[in-house]
Structure 1
Amino acid sequence: MERNYDFRKRLEVVHKPNRRDSSVRAEAGELEISEDWRIVIDEAASPLLVHTAKDLQDYLFTSMNVSVRLLRVKDIAETLALQERVIVLATSEQLPAMGDKLEKPRSYRIVAQQSRIIVCGYNERGAAQGSYFLEDQMNLREAPVLACSDVTREPLFSPRMAHSGWGLDRYPDSHLNALAHAGIDAIMVFVKDVDETPEGYQDFNYLVDRAELYGLDVYVYSYLISRLHPDDPDAKQYYESTYGRVFKACPRFKGVILVGESCEFPSKDTNTTGKLRLDWPADQPQTKPSPGWWPCQDFPQWLNLLSGTIRAHNPDTDIVFWTYNWGWAPEEDRLKLIRALPENITLQVTFEMFEQIRNEHVTHVCVDYTLSNVGPGAYFSSEAEVARERGIKLHAMSNTGGLTWDFGVIPYEPFPGQWNKRHEALKKANQDWGLSGLMESHHFGWWPSFVSEIAKWAYWSPSPSYEEALAMIAKRDFGEAAAPLAVEAWNAWSEAITHYIPTNEDQYGPFRVGPSYPLVFRNAMFKKAVQMPAVKHAMFGNEIVLTDYDPLEDPRQSLGVTRIDVEIRSLERMLELMETGNELLEEALKRTPDRKREDGVRMLGLGQFIARSIKTTIHVKQWWKLKRQLLSEGDTGKALALMERMEELARREIANAEATIPLVEADSRLGWEPSMEYMTDTAHLRWKMKQVQSVLDNEFAQYRKSLALTDSMQ
């Protein structure tokens, strides 16, 4: 049983102990690293390269039970020529003959021979990635054994950005190390002011220092307020006091991410209110979007002002403009903005959103963010095409760190087949439109998993196929006898997610928190809607959970009353497939060696938690349907019959919540999300059970009293 936040202890472990299978020995065409080998770096090696060498030494000791020496030498080329049983870590500058064909930053060449291994990176970051690749290979072999080979590999995307999965804007060294090992090369931090995040003080320069030791850049995710229009007389001074102040204090920030909802300004575009969202009078109807939700014609003017302000302190700052909030807007207006953007900015577009998707006889709109729709959507494709025409650098919000808003309080979505389709679609976008960078998670964070491993394999060239990589990972993690069943389970899960229909009411409702989501009957007079318990230090807490479930309407999709039965049927099919996968994984675990079973059991718990979240969402939809019927039913007898059905449904959901408790107690990451903190731990599940029981004991009793005051129509 884990206590809350115990998952962080697991995140501290970058090199898994005792991976070595003592029965594995080098075969023909392979080499084996033994304790008479040494890791060698140049005496002028950078701090990053020194850190990488220490990391490899620790990996061999911790994971492979091999203790090797680490040496600095004056002439790395001479050492390479004369010494044997060495692992040489160097850059193309130090070994020009080895690295003369390396062209991309972070690319590397590895030459593995019987008596030596040479890792030559385009730069220090390339050498580090090459060293991590050695670890990947040995992990799959489960021994300090490598194939003799000469391989050159390069990344397909940079940056690959992610938010922390340890805690909101919290980056312990171990988490930075894990991110780097996974091929991530940039992190994001929410910024409100100099050294200020939504949770309070943080030394940004120190964060940049530590990130550099792992080959990671740091991007600002702007939460800075923009109260002036560029035409305002004091605009230049104002923005110097905000954005300029931040980049003057920390000029080594790699870039800044600007998204409408977080940094809108008082646009003069007549299609908008012209006011910031929170400045609109509460007693006035709002018939136009706020500027942060429209492709305003004066965004280019605002971006030019910010560009000059920021780049006065760092000329190379990557200014990323993200069009997320108005992907719904008419294509003509969106593309007019893209055609007017400054050429020296980066355009970021969400990959799968805003698609109108037909399900049976109704239309749904793809909301943010989901794996169920692979992408690219028409919104992405249209803006990517114009970016290509203009030669503007293009990024995608891809969520390929392994998580979306499909399920709000899980560490990752274990649907490798669907992730593979997303990876392939992104690689095609790279070929078609020059897509170069990825934002791989939002504030729900990044988590190391077999899914993040598959992403790493996909985003480097050359690499094994998806099927080959999946089979190797399954064999490593479950053993040869259980691996085929594990792959079958993953395939069933991967099909399951294709039956998920993303809606705002579900993603802000039962899928946001899973089985702790309440069943609301009626809100009492003069009382607020039911609120889930939340800690005061959370950035969002319960603010992004809508508890009084009701379909949220949109003119681009069918009405909720016509959609809901289609959604229930689709989720029932999804649940069947999840449970099939769970059964297959249970069978696989029976064949898994004891030393590998712990992680597999935790993966099964994740699959079971997802299944219970699907059950909750089905129950919530059924509750809404019955409640809607009940509240419009004037016949006492029929109303009482409906209440009996609702009571039976409520009891099933109480049982579902109770059955979830062992899952969250076994894995403290289940039920938690960085911006909300815990929303589905044991305490929240018991709160939900009590809330639903209170509906049955009190609200239903009161409703029956009211019904008794009306004679039956029969």
Structure 2
Amino acid sequence: MNADQFPRDETLAQLYQRLQAEADAAYRASPFSALSTDYFNRFSRDPDARPADGETWIDSSLRPFGKVYPERSRRTQDRLRSGQAWKLMLPDDLSPLGKRMAEHLLDFMARCMNVRLALEQRPRANLTTGFPHAITLLDRDGGEPATPSSFTITAMNDRVLAAGRDPAGLRDAVVSLVDTFGLRQAPALRCGSQTFTPKLAVRLGAIPWLGSHKDAVFMGYNAVLLNEAQFPTTCASLYAISTSDAIPELAARRRPEVLAAISAGARAARDYGMKCYIRLDTVDKFRPDDPLFDAHPDIRGSLTCKADGNYSLCTEHPLVRRYLCESVAGLFREVPELDGIVIIVGGEAFYHCYMRPYGVEHGETNCPRCARSDAETVVANLCNAIAEAAREGKPTAEIIIWLYSAQVWSADRNQEQLIARLKPGAAVLTEVEKDETLEKPGGLTKLLWDYSIDMTGLGSRARQQLAACNRVGIPIYFKSEPELSFEAPRLPNVPCIDRWLDRAEALAASGAKGSFVFPAFKPFHATSSGEVYKFASWVPAPDKEDLLQRFAARIAGRQAGPHLREAWRAVSQAIPFSPDLPPYYLGPYYFGPGHPMIADLNAKVPQTFYGKHLFAAESTASDGLKDVPGFLTNARADSGNVNAVGESYRQMERLLARAAAEIRTAQPLVPDRCRSMFGSEASTILWFYHTARTHANFYESCQCRSAWAEFAAHPKPEDAERARALHSRWIKVLENEKENAEAALPLMAADMRLDYYFGTDHTYRHGVDVIRAKLELVEREISEYLPALWRRYEAAVKDHEKGDFTAESAENAE
């Protein structure tokens, strides 16, 4: 381990900046960065693919007469004998967005399908029914006339016509063409005509890590959260983008470069016809002796988080209210392409005096001004004032009120009282599953205190909030992570693709105005789980099993695809056996095979297993820089009986072992052209398996340790055989874990996405160093500590037989 990974004199801002630069460099060097830096890198043409009956086959070469496939029908043979090279045909008045998408289609066909289409333009009147031996793109007269962004794709023997109802419809038609060719692994379309209509008006996603707006479009999104690609904390500070002079002392917090980055991102989004939003926060609070309070002592809000914590500004004070409103209105004037702002008013981010006040009861505050009111009134006043100000800057602007962890102040579980007070210009964002509970076998109760893929549909809180918004005519959006689930938070994505597709279908059928599918904790890796959402977003939607079979074949090749499909199925079946969501980034569910077994409770755990929870800096910067342990010393049983919890993890291990076996069977069958995409899937599935195996071994080892303490406290000759069996089992568990960690080490070394060091809102030592340190510990436990325990136990038993057993003997046996 490098002792200088966290220099003592490094500030939080310096640490963030350094980690981001190191992460970007490591990711660029990773083979898996190809997935997010260019969406088209995931596609390739199957050299063995052949035209099927009823397909339109697109080719750019003149095929010699008579070179046909004798097994095909006369109609197919005639089409292949045509001797016509295909083109991409555009109307001469095509919109700028249409031209941009045409360029991407040309690029995709050349790079991924080995088809080089000549580009031609003709008068629109000549292209209404397509053009012979051409893919024709139209940005009107397709789709459903009453449904924006809808489109129609028609494939005939000698032509393909993709027509949008509008330019956005054509954009999505090109995305659909790329997906169809990609899933077919060949430049072929089934003959016929199909109109597609969107299920949701807004499908918001994130720009993939080191990628572009183009990649977000082809991932299936028509809206983007700009700051996900711009800021390491996924938020922009309101103080940084403010142009208000209402409180002159805050001008020092301005960062014009942030506003410039937002403006550039918004313009790029508009080039693709995408809506664009920005997350704002006021996390940077104020020390008690901040000079701001010398000039304006009465704007001091609540003391937050702890006795020596920082102060927020009181949003009920007229001067603060003016500053906030001018800042928001100014943002929309400076960036007219911006469609909305997202603010968390629940448990973090955009502060008011009922958010995390120190030393008061639930629903109370230590701000004297706000204490005269109530939480719902104060929060509603803030939201409505900002919404009104936003519409002064832009009449169609939307302020999206994110209710994440609002239970810390809310008078009701579903925040219905707050929703009832919201006015036009405000909308609600809420999570699909957060704060729900699931009953599990063995009498376990699993609290989904944060993001989980165990519940794929809408929970009761989300449904009640949807109803509350409908009652007052306020739009609602549903939030889902695209890749993260706290069943296994170190993975770049949790590869339970069946469940992610179920989540996508639930979002699409929810009745909300839109879905917000963006990562709140880490960069967007643009993996399979993030990609699969779009397939459920349209009417008609593909058959689920057929889609997953073709999706797996596209990723792994035709021979290996069925094995990848079965691996996804096994992972999806394993998720419901997850008994709980442990605390953030703590324990085997996070460290996986890097987690120590802690057989000896008295042994000092090396500093290698400590890190920094950078997100804790929301309280104070010093909290984010503290060294904190990433390991557990005892098995957790918050959800119920520890034996049932341990058995649940063992059941997860069994199912994930099936998935790992499918991956190993698939590996030699994967063609070279699919290695990168399949490698991404294989890495995450195998790491998840090793993680569950560690979790099960840790629980069993802790149970062995507890049972051993009972034998050691009362060492009787009649118990010696049972003690020996327990001791032998304990050694076998640790040997199993040593083997598990050894097998996982090459995975960690090969995939920086697994590295604990690159945690974004947290960081530990590099994963390879952690696993090696764990192996040293477990080897000592196997070869030194457990044998010594047995020797002491045998001596205590002999003392008991001789009648010499004392309290000192029992202590030695333990």
Normalising by structure 2, report the TM-score: 0.73
CA distance in 1, matches of 2:314, 2:733: 54
Secondary structure of the corresponding residue to residue 662 of structure 2:
helix
Residue 19 of structure 1 pairs with residue 102 of structure 2: no
CA distance in 2, matches of 1:286, 1:687: 43
CA distance in 2, matches of 1:515, 1:197: 44
Query: Cα offset for 1:489?
Result: 2.6
CA distance in 2, matches of 1:180, 1:684: 38
CA distance in 2, matches of 1:655, 1:136: 41
1:501-541 Cα distance to aligned partner (Å, 9 max, x none): 2323376433234333345666999x999753569999999
Structure 2 equivalent of residue 547 of structure 1 = 630
Q: Aligned pair count? A: 677
Residue 659 of structure 1 pairs with residue 743 of structure 2: yes
Within a 5 Å distance, the mapping from 1:665-684 to structure 2 comes to 665-671=749-755, 672-676=758-762, 681-684=767-770
Residue 118 of structure 1 pairs with residue 161 of structure 2: yes
Query: Cα offset for 1:303?
Result: 0.5
- Among 33, 41, 45, the residue aligned to 2:90: 41
Note if contact 1:575-1:615 (Cα within 8 Å) is conserved in structure 2.
Answer: yes
CA distance in 1, matches of 2:34, 2:553: 26
Residue 376 of structure 1 pairs with residue 458 of structure 2: yes
Q: Which moved more, 1:363-372 or 1:654-663?
A: 654-663
CA distance in 1, matches of 2:631, 2:37: 39
Note if contact 1:158-1:438 (Cα within 8 Å) is conserved in structure 2.
Answer: no
Note if contact 2:201-2:513 (Cα within 8 Å) is conserved in structure 1.
Answer: no
Structure 2 equivalent of residue 711 of structure 1 = 808
Query: Cα offset for 1:54?
Result: 0.9
Amino acid at match of 2:180: Q
- Among 469, 491, 498, the residue aligned to 1:387: 469
Q: 1:257 to 1:416 in 2, by over 3 A?
A: same
Structure 1 equivalent of residue 271 of structure 2 = 213
Amino acid at match of 1:115: D
Note if contact 1:395-1:439 (Cα within 8 Å) is conserved in structure 2.
Answer: no
CA distance in 1, matches of 2:556, 2:341: 42
Residue 142 of structure 1 pairs with residue 185 of structure 2: yes
CA distance in 2, matches of 1:149, 1:397: 36
Note if contact 1:508-1:545 (Cα within 8 Å) is conserved in structure 2.
Answer: no
- Among 337, 355, 362, the residue aligned to 2:436: 355
Structure 1 equivalent of residue 19 of structure 2 = none
- Among 329, 345, 350, the residue aligned to 2:426: 345
Query: Cα offset for 1:302?
Result: 0.9
Query: Cα offset for 1:371?
Result: 0.8
Note if contact 1:500-1:571 (Cα within 8 Å) is conserved in structure 2.
Answer: yes
CA distance in 1, matches of 2:608, 2:666: 42
- Among 324, 348, 351, the residue aligned to 1:239: 324
Q: Which moved more, 1:689-698 or 1:232-241?
A: 689-698
- Among 401, 410, 414, the residue aligned to 2:495: 414
Query: Cα offset for 1:468?
Result: 1.7
CA distance in 2, matches of 1:334, 1:529: 43
Residue 4 of structure 1 pairs with residue 26 of structure 2: yes
Q: 1:592 to 1:582 in 2, by over 3 A?
A: same
Note if contact 2:347-2:406 (Cα within 8 Å) is conserved in structure 1.
Answer: no
Query: Cα offset for 1:612?
Result: 0.9
1:227-279 Cα distance to aligned partner (Å, 9 max, x none): 34443131233214644454444342222222123334343xxxxxx4x53x6
Q: 1:652 to 1:552 in 2, by over 3 A?
A: closer
CA distance in 2, matches of 1:463, 1:519: 47
CA distance in 2, matches of 1:573, 1:100: 48
Note if contact 1:165-1:444 (Cα within 8 Å) is conserved in structure 2.
Answer: no
Note if contact 1:224-1:262 (Cα within 8 Å) is conserved in structure 2.
Answer: no
Secondary structure of the corresponding residue to residue 324 of structure 1:
coil
Structure 1 equivalent of residue 638 of structure 2 = 560
Secondary structure of the corresponding residue to residue 111 of structure 1:
strand
Amino acid at match of 2:265: L
Q: 1:695 to 1:106 in 2, by over 3 A?
A: farther
Amino acid at match of 2:276: V
Query: Cα offset for 1:183?
Result: 0.6
Query: Cα offset for 1:407?
Result: 1.6
Residue 318 of structure 1 pairs with residue 366 of structure 2: no
CA distance in 2, matches of 1:538, 1:208: 30
Structure 2 equivalent of residue 556 of structure 1 = none
Secondary structure of the corresponding residue to residue 394 of structure 2:
coil
Query: Cα offset for 1:550?
Result: 7.0
CA distance in 2, matches of 1:376, 1:410: 24
Structure 2 equivalent of residue 517 of structure 1 = 595
Normalising by structure 1, report the TM-score: 0.82
Structure 1 equivalent of residue 289 of structure 2 = none
Query: Cα offset for 1:470?
Result: 1.4
- Among 417, 421, 430, the residue aligned to 1:336: 417
Q: Which moved more, 1:357-366 or 1:675-684?
A: 675-684
Structure 1 equivalent of residue 175 of structure 2 = 132
Q: Which moved more, 1:694-703 or 1:121-130?
A: 694-703
- Among 39, 51, 60, the residue aligned to 2:109: 60
1:146-178 Cα distance to aligned partner (Å, 9 max, x none): 222221112212432334541xxxx532xx322
Secondary structure of the corresponding residue to residue 501 of structure 1:
coil
Query: Cα offset for 1:610?
Result: 0.1
Amino acid at match of 2:502: K
Q: Which moved more, 1:653-662 or 1:577-586?
A: 653-662
Amino acid at match of 2:544: Y
Query: Cα offset for 1:197?
Result: 12
Q: Which moved more, 1:382-391 or 1:78-87?
A: 78-87
- Of the two, which has the highest radius of gyration? 2
CA distance in 2, matches of 1:481, 1:697: 45
Note if contact 1:112-1:148 (Cα within 8 Å) is conserved in structure 2.
Answer: yes
Amino acid at match of 1:177: K
CA distance in 2, matches of 1:128, 1:117: 16
Q: 1:428 to 1:49 in 2, by over 3 A?
A: closer
Note if contact 1:371-1:419 (Cα within 8 Å) is conserved in structure 2.
Answer: yes
Query: Cα offset for 1:128?
Result: 1.4
Amino acid at match of 1:219: Y
Note if contact 1:505-1:550 (Cα within 8 Å) is conserved in structure 2.
Answer: no
Secondary structure of the corresponding residue to residue 179 of structure 2:
helix
CA distance in 1, matches of 2:386, 2:792: 62
1:591-613 Cα distance to aligned partner (Å, 9 max, x none): 44454455434423321100111
CA distance in 1, matches of 2:281, 2:395: 21
Q: Which moved more, 1:600-609 or 1:647-656?
A: 647-656
- Among 47, 51, 61, the residue aligned to 2:100: 51
Q: 1:90 to 1:614 in 2, by over 3 A?
A: same
Q: 1:546 to 1:110 in 2, by over 3 A?
A: farther
Note if contact 2:552-2:564 (Cα within 8 Å) is conserved in structure 1.
Answer: yes
Query: Cα offset for 1:27?
Result: 3.3
CA distance in 1, matches of 2:391, 2:789: 64
Residue 685 of structure 1 pairs with residue 765 of structure 2: no
Note if contact 1:352-1:380 (Cα within 8 Å) is conserved in structure 2.
Answer: yes
Within a 5 Å distance, the mapping from 1:625-636 to structure 2 comes to 625=703, 635=713
Query: Cα offset for 1:626?
Result: 5.8
Structure 2 equivalent of residue 468 of structure 1 = 546
Q: 1:616 to 1:694 in 2, by over 3 A?
A: same
Query: Cα offset for 1:85?
Result: 2.6
Structure 2 equivalent of residue 270 of structure 1 = none
Query: Cα offset for 1:129?
Result: 1.2
1:658-695 Cα distance to aligned partner (Å, 9 max, x none): 32121123333333544446766323433444566788
CA RMSD of aligned residues (A): 4.3
Structure 2 equivalent of residue 203 of structure 1 = 261
Q: Which moved more, 1:503-512 or 1:147-156?
A: 503-512
Note if contact 2:162-2:173 (Cα within 8 Å) is conserved in structure 1.
Answer: yes
Q: 1:453 to 1:230 in 2, by over 3 A?
A: closer
1:98-139 Cα distance to aligned partner (Å, 9 max, x none): 237333332212222333322222332221110121111112
Secondary structure of the corresponding residue to residue 503 of structure 1:
coil
1:7-32 Cα distance to aligned partner (Å, 9 max, x none): 32443342246424354136345242
Structure 2 equivalent of residue 95 of structure 1 = none
Q: 1:290 to 1:76 in 2, by over 3 A?
A: farther
CA distance in 1, matches of 2:254, 2:521: 13
Structure 2 equivalent of residue 580 of structure 1 = 658
